[in-house]
Amino acid sequence: MNPRPAIPSSIPSKLSVNFVLPYSPQLSAKEVDMVIIPTTTGQMGVLPGHVATIVELKPGVLSVHEGND
């Protein structure tokens, strides 16, 4: 069995975001450049190709960045 490569062969250029509230979806498969989420340990930025992570969210503002904004 061959070991998996340490890094992916290509990092995606965009991040696909789904943000769903109990009563309706707010974003569905939205292609963005970065998302900043509030966690119990502080703000966390997520970029395309980010390693899979599990964090505890806290109430706050989710920032979605597209292009140069």
Report the predicted TM-score, pTM, of the whole model to 2 decimal places.
Answer: 0.74
Q: Which residues pair with 37 in a beta bridge?
A: 44
Q: Residue 68 has what pLDDT?
A: 75
Q: Does the structure show a pLDDT above 70 at 10? A: yes
- Could you read off the pLDDT of 18-61 as tens digits, one per residue? 988 899 998 899 999 999 999 999 999 999 988 889 999 999 99
CA distance 68 to 51: 23
Q: Does the structure show a pLDDT above 90 at 69? A: no
CA distance 54 to 48: 16
Is CATH 1.10.240.10 the classification given to domain 15-65? Answer: no
pLDDT category at 4 given cuts 50, 70, 90 is low
3-state secondary structure of 29: strand
